[in-house]
């Protein structure tokens, strides 16, 4: 099997992006390729995983590089999942923002995702207990 590379990226072909996002069923992105292009281009940090040149995973974060690092996407092609690609991608983001204390994200309520993020040091808000933290979100459209 070809070696895996995990590197920051600035210029990713839109076809490769839509193919990767489609592989995990994220139709909200693939149905609006221009939005996907803008989202990736406007991210503070994007890291991609490639195997034999093929795009197999991506993570992207938004940050002020001082107080907050928001992880927006981490995704790995189904045929590459559970081989450490997601961990390598998120580790690259966490290393890049090692000096930033507060790291947050929003994700679906699925056991695999909880296990994944917990394995990388994230904790769910609900686990801090009552009277500690609250998270708010507003979706427009």
Ligand X SMILES: CC(C)(COP(=O)(O)OP(=O)(O)OC[C@H]1O[C@@H](n2cnc3c(N)ncnc32)[C@H](O)[C@@H]1OP(=O)(O)O)[C@@H](O)C(=O)NCCC(=O)NCCS
The contact set with ligand X (CB under 6 A) reads: 24, 73-76, 81-87, 107, 112-113, 115-116, 119
Beta strands in the chain, from DSSP E residues, in sequence order: 4-8, 45-51, 54-63, 68-76, 102-105
User: How many angstroms separate the CA atoms of 112 and 133, rounded?
Assistant: 23
Q: Which residue's Cβ lies closest to ligand X?
A: 86
Q: How far is the CB of 25 from ligand X (least distance, A)?
A: 8
CB of 140 to ligand X, least distance (A): 20
Residue 93 dihedral angles phi and psi, to the nearest 5°: -65, -45
Q: Which residues contact 130 (CB under 8 A, 6 or more apart)?
A: none
**Closest distance of CB 71 from ligand X, Å:** 7
- Comparing CB distances to ligand X, the nearer of 21 and 131 is 21
The residue (of 51 and 73) whose beta carbon lies closer to ligand X is: 73
- Taking the complex as a whole, the smallest distance from the CB of residue 41 to ligand X amounts, in Å, to 19
Cα–Cα distance between 47 and 35 in angstroms, integer? 18
Looking at the Cβ atoms of 109 and 140, the one nearer to ligand X is: 109
Residue with tokens 């559970």: 82
Q: Which is nearer to ligand X, 25 or 66 (CB)?
A: 25
């Amino acid at each position: 099997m070809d070696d895996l590379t995990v590197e920051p990226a600035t210029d990713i072909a839109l076809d490769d992006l839509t193919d990767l996002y489609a592989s995990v069923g994220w139709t909200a992105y693939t149905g609006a390729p221009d939005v996907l292009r803008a989202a990736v281009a406007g991210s503070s940090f994007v890291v991609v995983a490639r195997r034999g040149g093929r795009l197999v995973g991506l993570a992207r974060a938004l940050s002020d590089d001082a107080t907050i690092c928001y992880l927006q996407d981490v995704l790995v092609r189904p045929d590459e999942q559970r081989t450490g690609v997601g961990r390598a991608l998120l580790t690259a983001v966490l290393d890049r923002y090692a000096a930033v204390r507060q790291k947050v994200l929003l994700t679906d309520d699925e056991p695999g995702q909880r296990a994944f993020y917990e394995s990388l040091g994230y904790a769910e808000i609900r686990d801090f207990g009552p009277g500690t933290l609250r998270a708010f979100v507003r979706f427009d459209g």
